[in-house]
Amino acid sequence: MKTATLLLTSCVGLALVSQSAFATNGMISHGYGSIDKALAGTGVAYSQEAMSMALNPAGLVNVKDSVDFNLALFAPTRGYHSDGEASPAFSIGPQHMESDNSLFPIPSFALAKKLNEQTTMGLSLYGSGGMNTQYKGGSATLFNDQGQSMTMPGTFGNGTTGVNLTQLFVNSSIASKLNEDHSIGLSLLFGFQTFSATGLQNFAGFSLDSDKLSDNGTDYSYGYGFKIGYQGKLTETLHIGASYQSKMKMSEFEKYSGLFANDGSFDMPATMQIGTAWEMQPDLILFADIQHIAYSDVPAIGNKSENLFDCMHLAGSQSCLGGSSSTGFGWNDMTVYKIGLQWDMLTTTWRLGYSYADQPVDQDELLFNILAPGVVKEHFTAGFSKTLTTDFVLHGAFMYAPENTVSGNNTLSGLDGSDSQKISIYMSQMEIQFGLQWNI
């Protein structure tokens, strides 16, 4: 177990020093372990690795006593276009900006150990998701109350502009067999977040606390939650499963209490997933899952930009940034449809997957989502598992999310009745992950 302890320590260290980017489905990862990532995030009904507790803790009873160590390299491309001349309000450009930071290491770790024939415990550490943008250079035009223009560097008028949010889970799980065909599981979750923002000072007039709006370094937040799950067999070849993860109430980002709703609150949204796995042949399995992410229940993520207009009409109201009804990113809930196929060929197991979801950002919510362009809709995945020895198995997974673009109006442009400025935000993603499974 000394080796497992060393891997866990290394994983924690990497997770804490690594920057984060948008996961895939909004800000939630499309998968966690190398196996379920290769299957587009399916597997809630059929567990094959220790990291499967991140999808469904009930599946722990069906995996080997093992230690998993995974390392992903995540490469997103994201940016925005703005068109049209500046009008007497907050306008951006016109310009095309693409975010810096295009490669992110994402480590994860998991341990599964049977306590007896009916019960298995597990411990895992993994990134839940996050967001990262960094826009350098360019120009922005801000008009004062007299209609006089001031040209300043940066996306929102203050040099380098962007945000960096990292989210980390420590998952302690236990699963128990109800009988040979059915099991239940429970995970206790500890969540840890870091956040920083730069270049947002020109929104000071919309904030209840402009000193805690931007450029205050890195802040920290933590909270607790749980995940429950069920897994079973309806027939010898048809498996079913379901899991629910609670909304995690996180402590406030005090350094950014003038940015996020409720004095800097940024909770982790609840998620639900159901699915099936059909063993079509002894060496061929078809997976199908549906996942729902409740973004709208987190004010910092779901509150709409229209709330900002109430702040403009009544300075100091709770609709201003930092207030209880403050503007958020305006994201809608997401429902993700996933399918995967796994087959054994000679000494190697191969996997393919595909998922689809409507992206969460409406056309009238683009201004603030320049900072958070999580608009990809499709994910294509592939992977393999190769037994190296009786104790070690190598896993690999690849993901590609083609570029998706959302276009609409700048909500703070054209307030005088002139034509509103047009904004387009876009994102594409690639990820490669390798995992080593050690059967203990």
For the beta sheet containing 149-153, the strands, ordered from the edge strand earlier in sequence to the opposite edge, are 91-92, 139-143, 149-153
CA distance 28 to 338: 14
Cβ–Cβ < 8 Å for 82, 410: yes
CA distance 381 to 356: 12
How far is C-alpha 88 from the geometric centre of its chain's CA atoms? 36
Cβ–Cβ < 8 Å for 64, 385: no
Using CA atoms, how far residue 41 sits from 37, 56, 271, in Å, is: 5, 12, 13
End-to-end Cα, the chain, rounded Å: 9
Tokens of 177: 């067999």
CA dihedral 217, 329, 333, 135 (to 10 degrees): -70
Cβ–Cβ < 8 Å for 382, 397: yes
DSSP class per residue in 135-195: E-S-EEEEE-TTS-EEEEEBSSSSBSEEEEEEEEEEEEEEEEESSSSEEEEEEEEEEEEEE
206 phi/psi in degrees, rounded to 5 = -105, 5
Encode the chain (440 residues) as per-residue pLDDT tens digits. 555 454 555 455 555 545 555 568 998 999 999 999 999 999 999 999 999 999 999 999 999 999 999 999 999 999 999 887 655 556 687 888 999 988 999 999 999 999 999 999 999 999 877 889 999 865 555 554 555 554 545 788 778 899 999 999 999 999 999 999 999 999 999 999 999 999 999 899 899 999 999 999 999 999 999 999 999 999 999 999 999 999 999 999 999 999 999 999 999 999 999 999 999 999 999 999 999 999 999 999 999 988 888 888 887 889 999 999 999 999 999 999 999 999 999 889 999 999 999 999 999 999 999 999 999 999 999 999 999 999 999 999 999 999 999 999 888 776 665 667 889 999 999 999 999 999 99
Listed in sequence order, the residues at least 6 apart from 117 whose beta carbon sits closer than 8 Å to its beta carbon are 177
Question: Can you point out the beta strands (E) in 214-299?
Answer: 219-233, 238-245, 249-250, 271-281, 284-293
pTM (2 decimals)?
0.91
299 phi/psi in degrees, rounded to 5 = -55, -40
Listed in sequence order, the residues at least 6 apart from 365 whose beta carbon sits closer than 8 Å to its beta carbon are 304, 305, 329, 330, 331, 408, 411
Question: Can you point out the beta strands (E) in 323-365?
Answer: 334-345, 348-356
Domains and CATH numbers, the chain: 2-439 (2.40.160.60)
DSSP at 270: P
